[in-house]
Chain A
Amino acid sequence: GENVEQHPSTLSVQEGDSAVIKCTYSDSASNYFPWYKQELGKGPQLIIDIRSNVGEKKDQRIAVTLNKTAKHFSLHITETQPEDSAVYFCAASYNFNKFYFGSGTKLNVKP
């Protein structure tokens, strides 16, 4: 089955700096790669996603890149704000069937 690895497990940045979180996946059949933000006591919330036919996608301060050859994808957050502090998860799926999640990155944005 699919195996998704996520790094780093914790990330601390100064407000205004950029944050990068990286994930690798093992199953070349995976074709959908979402990123979720989870705040304490809440369910994960989709923040951005990318399909395998696209190399990069951007939404305001958030961007995701995908390298299918190397089987890795990354989340980039620019101009970080304290409200970006949360746990972020990457995931991989084939045709929206089973979703495999990474182990999470706790992002702390210091004011």
Chain B
Amino acid sequence: DTGVSQDPRHKITKRGQNVTFRCDPISEHNRLYWYRQTLGQGPEFLTYFQNEAQLEKSRLLSDRFSAERPKGSFSTLEIQRTEQGDSAMYLCASSQGRSGSYNEQFFGPGTRLTVL
């Protein structure tokens, strides 16, 4: 399977704990996006990378959230001191990210976070 993969698929944690999610984009995709989706809502943009550079962060991404893409391949999203309001589906997407090319986003299956 050469699609976008995310790990873990489900995470249950207690309030105050730190969690880290991983996203593996489609091979040779330069751009990688993170979104958060709560029940009954559309995905909300969190941040995106062009290769290893983080180009933009949403105001939704508080100081407790950090994302990295150290070698321009996989990415991690860490949430520190989780709160119940962080419970959501965290989606990753990737695209070619090349000027002049078709930059369709391909989404992964998501990581569902439950904070107790």
Q: Do A and B bind each other?
A: yes
Chain A: residues with Cβ within 8 Å of the partner, total of 22
* Chain B interfacial residues counted at CB < 8 A: 26
Whole-angstrom CA separation of A96 from B32 in the bound complex:
11
Interface pair A98/B42, CB less than 8 Å apart: no
Chain A positions 36 through 47: 1 when the CB is less than 8 Å from some CB of chain B, otherwise 0: 100001111110
* Residue in B42, B48, B58, B108 whose CB lies within 8 Å of A43: B108
A-B contact pairs, 25 of them (CB 8 A): A34-B104, A36-B107, A41-B109, A42-B110, A43-B91, A43-B93, A43-B107, A43-B110, A44-B91, A45-B107, A46-B105, A89-B42, A91-B42, A96-B31, A96-B95, A96-B103, A96-B105, A97-B48, A98-B56, A99-B43, A103-B40, A103-B41, A103-B42, A104-B41, A104-B42
Q: Chain B interface (Cβ within 8 Å of chain A)?
A: 4, 31, 33, 35, 40-45, 48, 55-56, 58, 91, 93, 95, 97, 103-110
